[in-house]
A and B are shown apart, each in its own frame.
Chain A
Amino acid sequence: MSGRLEGLLQAAFPEAREVAVVDRTGGGDHFHVTVVDGRFAGLSLVDQHRLVYDALADPLADGTIHELRITTSGEG
């Protein structure tokens, strides 16, 4: 499941310096994703997280993701 999320994030952030997905509990539904991408520079954290939510809209909507922690950065 981490692989599916990583694929979605890499597709949404092709220029990202870092894309990481950690399955926090090993249960395949609690994730911590990290995205470092220059396009975040100048965006508020709310707008940065919105881009991540957009990328993961499908697994969020279908219940795959029960809990999501997000770390974003425009610097890397």
Chain B
Amino acid sequence: MSDLRDRIRDTIETEPVVAFIKGTHEQAYCGNSERAMQALRAVGAGFTTVDVLVDPQIRQELTALSSWPTIPQVFVKGELVGGADIVQELAASGGLEATLQEKLGEEWRRPGEERTVSVTDGPGLRVVPGT
């Protein structure tokens, strides 16, 4: 068991909607990651992303937790909802809104509220000594 896996698990369990993608909410580096975000945006959901490209270990630990072999992976309230194909299909059928509503109540309706968080000890978390 690694600290990284614990941080990934914490992120999955505490973020209402989290997408593990290649890139960030501002810039995806993979068409499938972009498709998953577009599906979330299409229904007006706010979401958090984690960039798996920051460290190859993230993807390895994530897949160990979820038993899902591909990226992206979208979780709602701790549960895997799917990859790009499923999230896109659910967004088109109305199933995505139903799932979000069922798990989160009205809390999910936060269009445009998007952010990227780190699960590693990356630069974003490092304390830079004052000058």
Which residues in A have some Cβ–Cβ distance to B below 8 Å? 45-46, 49-50, 53, 57, 60-61, 67-71
Query: Helix, strand, loop or mixed for chain A's interface?
Result: helix
Q: Which residue of A lies closest to B80 (CB)?
A: A46
Distance between A60 CB and nearest chain B CB, rounded to angstroms: 5
Known A53-B68, A60-B69: A71·B85 in contact at CB below 8 Å? yes
Which chain B residue has the least Cβ–Cβ distance from A30?
Answer: B31
Distance A12 CA – B84 CA, assembled complex (angstroms): 23
Taking Cβ atoms with an 8 Å cutoff, the residues of B that contact A are 32, 67-70, 80-86, 89-90
Task: Compute how far the CA of A69 lies from the CA of B82 in the bound complex, rounded to whole angstroms.
Answer: 12
A68–B86 Cα distance when bound, in Å, is 12
**Alpha-carbon distance between A49 and B70 when the two chains are bound, in angstroms:** 11
Whose C-beta in chain B lies nearest to the C-beta of A32? B85
CB of B72 to closest CB in A, whole Å: 12
A46 and B85 form a contact (CB under 8 A)? no
A-B contacts, 20 of them at CB < 8 A, read: A45-B82, A45-B86, A45-B90, A46-B81, A46-B86, A49-B82, A49-B86, A50-B67, A50-B68, A53-B68, A53-B69, A53-B70, A60-B69, A60-B70, A61-B69, A67-B32, A68-B70, A69-B84, A69-B85, A71-B85
